[in-house]
């Protein structure tokens, strides 16, 4: 796989929760950090997402906001 996105994080699916239209996918990265993504249910099914599957979380954004209290 080649992709232009610079932020490609390899992890494992921790949980998939399907809704009527969308699915919430929790990806656990090495060290226990979790990334959560909401994708279409069709995409989740087409990718065969299930607990324990190796996946990549690909983050493509032109802006990353930082906030403090």
Domain 7-50, CATH among 2.40.50.100, 3.90.930.12, 3.20.10.10, 1.10.150.120:
2.40.50.100
Cα 29 to Cα 46: distance, rounded to the nearest angstrom = 22
User: What pLDDT was estimated at residue 26?
Assistant: 97
CA distances from 7 to 55, 58, 61 (A): 13, 6, 9
Residue extents of the structural domains in the chain: 7-50
User: What pLDDT was estimated at residue 5?
Assistant: 83
Task: Say yes or no to pLDDT of 66 above 80.
Answer: no
Q: Per DSSP, what are the bridge partners of residue 64?
A: none
Q: Which has the closest alpha carbon to 41: 30, 49, 53, 33?
A: 49
Mind listing the pLDDT tens digit for each residue in 7-65? 899 999 999 999 999 999 999 999 999 999 999 999 999 999 999 999 999 988 777 77
User: What pLDDT was estimated at residue 51?
Assistant: 98
> What are 33's two structure tokens?
């950090």
């Amino acid at each position: 796989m080649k992709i232009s996105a610079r932020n490609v994080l390899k992890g494992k699916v921790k949980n998939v929760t399907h809704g009527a239209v969308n699915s919430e996918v929790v990806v656990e990265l090495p060290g226990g950090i979790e990334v959560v993504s909401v994708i279409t249910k069709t995409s989740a099914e087409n990718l065969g997402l299930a607990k324990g599957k190796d996946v990549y979380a690909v983050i493509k954004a032109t802006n990353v906001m930082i906030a403090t209290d």
